[in-house]
Amino acid sequence: MMPQRELAVGRAHRLLIPGWRLEDEDDATACLVPARDVAGINDNAYVGKQDTDITYFSIVFDEPQVFCANGLPVESFSPTDEAMRAVPNDVRDSLREAFPDLSPKFADYPAPRYKMREQVSYTPDFA
């Protein structure tokens, strides 16, 4: 379950991991897991150290989506209150303009359809 080409995502960006790859999870239950918790499972998934500024590009929909980036299932940007505190005011204004029906409180944005997990353990065959 690796991308087809090199892919850099933010540490908190969630990746969709099949349940059979996770300990204590039903095989049929896919979970959204932060990239920082996937890093280190093998030599191809790691936390990089950047000496330069990074520009993030995010895709946002009217509700949470999972899509493939270079073949890796990743979550779309969810404009929750916490996430919106981290973005500049002009980005918030642009989102409100693009989604006029979006509640004044971003907390009302729908929850993802997938279970969200933190600090996961992987099945031995994943490493």
Distance of alpha carbon 47 from alpha carbon 123, whole angstroms? 20
73 belongs to a structural domain = yes
Residue type, 33: V
21 belongs to a structural domain = yes
5 belongs to a structural domain = no
49 belongs to a structural domain = yes
The predicted model scores a pTM of 0.75
105 belongs to a structural domain = no
How many other C-beta atoms are found inside a 10 Å radius of the C-beta of residue 1? Answer: 14
Task: For residue 29, give its domain range.
Answer: 14-77+113-126
Q: What is the pLDDT of residues 46-68, one digit of tens each?
A: 566 666 777 778 888 878 899 99
Q: Is residue 127 very low, low, confident or very high in pLDDT (cuts 50, 70, 90)?
A: very low
Spell out where 1-125 has E strands: 14-17, 31-34, 66-69, 72-75, 115-116
Distance of alpha carbon 25 from alpha carbon 117, whole angstroms? 10
Whether the CB-CB separation of 33 and 45 falls below 8 Å is answered with no
- What does the pLDDT average to over 113-121? 78
How does the average pLDDT of the chain come out, rounded? Answer: 78
Q: What is the pLDDT of residue 91?
A: 85
4 belongs to a structural domain = no
Number of domains in the chain: 1
43 belongs to a structural domain = yes
Residue type, 78: S
8 belongs to a structural domain = no
